[in-house]
Each structure stands twice: as structure tokens, then as C-alpha cells.
Amino acid sequence: MKFILIVLLSLLSSQLFAMDGIVIVLEAPLLKEPSLDSNVKQVVRKGDKIYLHDQHFNASSWENTSEASERVSIIDKVYNEEFYQTLSKDGFPAFIQAKYVKVIYQDKREVNKPVARFETDPTDYRLEEPLPEDFPLSEKDKKKAAFLLTLGTHSKSSYAFNDTIIDEDYANAYGVNLLYMTKVDYDLFDRFYFGTKIGFENNDVELGFASGTNVKQSLGRYSIGPHISFDIYKTEKTRLTAFTNISLTYHRAYLTYEGLNEQLEERAFSAWSFTPEIGAMWQWVEVIPNTDFVIGANIVAQPSVEMTASAEGVGNYWNTDQDVLVMDSGLRSTFSVGIQARY
């Protein structure tokens, strides 16, 4: 008796679900209700044949009154997703997303319904081989080393000369930064690095005086300190990295006085300070094997620094009472470009 009942149900189902469809994605869920928020009753895989309720289709192509062949559309209005009604393996109605099914019409409607609908299968979770070296978790010991050329706004200095300044010419600051970083132990996703920054930066200043003389300044900064970076956005080919550091900075300045009678006198000034900065870098990953191309920008908080002379001045144009060169405080911007090696 049970066998006869099953046969009758099968015959009835085959009449109600008159169309066949082929699953064209790796995996597609059969849902209890026509909604993406519904429970999953069953999962069908690519190539599986499923029955589709005939309410969605005309019996044949000549019944079409328009280019569309569907009669009833079931739409999830929340996600604007179309569904077909089918059967799950328990024999009860289920619903599958229409875009995951190729309907077998067995007439000229096949021409207008391409099999390949996706450039990339949205359900295919498999990774292409060879797998990344750090799959599934990042290696514990990973390092980066970067070489960056920098261009920044100048530092402004002041000295109480015994003459009136009538002309000032400040050049941009040029420099080099070296970074060496290691991934922190507890970071499993290759984002957080800690290391050391070594930098050099120099800008020139030329001052003209009312007496016709001038002074040329060469302002240099040597820095070293801890450097922290974090990748706030990353893809396979690009990364956006935020960073910060605070450096112990050695300031040195050479002031060269040029008199009217070709008299020259050079003096050296120096001082120490701590200099914080914050910035971001954009990285193009693997432009060549294990090497990235990097551009960046940062803001430097320049503290006020009094630089003392290494020796007393000879000429009377120096101020013996206030014989210090003052680096003015303020914010400076710096732009960088370079390469980064990963190993």
C-alpha cells in the first residue's frame, strides 16, 4: 500500500512540477520560504536536476504573448530576489533562487537563456591552487623593510642677527627613511607590524640682510625611533596602512655668513628633541616578487628647539647675548615614495 501511495505522489508531483532545471552554481540552497532570510532545507550542487513548478512557465513557446516566458514570478521584495518553487527531498515545497537554475524548455526558448550567467560563481568558496604560502593563517615571523624618498614642507628657524632681514628663501625638505618591521606574534591576519624607523631630512634657507650680506642655512634632522603600522584595508593587490612613530631627533644646522668683502664664516648649531608623527601609506603588493611599491603621506609635530653653537662666532654680526638658533614649533607635512621588501 505504501509503495502504491509513493508512486501516486510521484506521478502527481511530476504533473505539478512540469519543468526540469539544472543547477548551474557550485552549491544552491533550497529554502523553506521564498526569502533569503528563510531556513535552508537542503543544498543542491552543480549539475543536479530539479523539478520546477509549472506556474512559472508557459507550456510551450507558442503560448507566449510577449518576449517573457514566465507566468508567475515569486519575488523576495526585501532583497529583490526571484525564486522558483521546487521540491525538497522530503517531498514538500521548497524554493530556489532563479538565477542559480538553467530551465530546460526543450524548445526555442533555450536560445534566449544562456547557461553561463556569472563571470565568477558567487557560491564557489574553493581556493585556487597553489594556495597562498600563509594559508590558512599568517606565518608567525614575517618582516618588512622599506626604502622611502621623502619630500616635505620646510622647517622654519630664527636667529637674532645684528642686522635687518629683508629677504627669506626657504627650500623644501628632502630626505630618506628606512623602515624595518616585524609582525607582532599575536596577529594572525598579517596586519599589525612593529619595528624601527631611521630617517634623515634636510632643507636649505637663505637670508638676505639690509647691509647686502647674506646667511645660508643648512638644516638637517637625523632621527631614529619605534614605528607601529596597521593595515586598515587590504586586498590581494593593495593595502592601506596607518602608522605612527616617535623619534629621537638630532638637529644640526650649518650657518654660513657671506660678507661683502667675500668674507666667509661657518658655524654649527645642534640640539636633541623627540618628534612624533602620524600618517598613512598605500601599497601595491607584489609589483615584482616579494616587493611592493609604496606611496605615503604623514604629519610631523615639530617641537620648538633651541640649538646651541659648537663655538663662539668671530664676526660682529652674530648676537653674543642670544647666540642660539631656534627651530619654530608647528606641523609639517611630508610625502614619500619608495619600495618595500617582504620576507
Unique residue bearing C-alpha cell 585556487: 128
Say which CATH class 143-342 falls into.
mainly beta
Which range has the top average pLDDT, 47-61, 71-85, 198-212?
198-212
- What tens digit of pLDDT does each residue of 297-308 get? 999 999 999 999
Distance of CA 126 to CAs 26, 45, 121, 201, Å? 10, 14, 10, 49
**How far is Cα 141 from Cα 119, in angstroms, rounded to an integer?**
37
pLDDT confidence band for 133 (50 / 70 / 90): low
Whether 66 shows a pLDDT value over 60: the answer reads: no
**In which element (H, E) is residue 95 found?**
strand 93-97
Q: Which of 8-22, 134-148, 229-243, 326-340 has the lowest mean pLDDT?
A: 8-22
Average pLDDT over residues 313-338: 91
Whether 197 shows a pLDDT value over 90: the answer reads: yes
- What tens digit of pLDDT does each residue of 265-276 get? 999 999 999 999
Paired strand residues for 195: 181, 227
Whether 50 shows a pLDDT value over 90: the answer reads: yes
pLDDT confidence band for 126 (50 / 70 / 90): confident
Return the pLDDT at 155. 85
pTM: 0.62
Average pLDDT over residues 161-169: 91
Other CB atoms within 10 Å distance of the CB of residue 65 = 6
Average pLDDT over residues 42-56: 91
Helix, strand, coil % over all residues of the chain, rounded to 5:
10, 55, 35
Query: Would you say 30 and 43 are in contact if contact means Cβ atoms under 8 Å apart?
Result: yes
**Residue ranges of domains in the chain:** 2-112, 143-342
**Does 2-112 carry CATH code 2.30.30.40?**
yes
* Grid cell at residue 140: 608567525
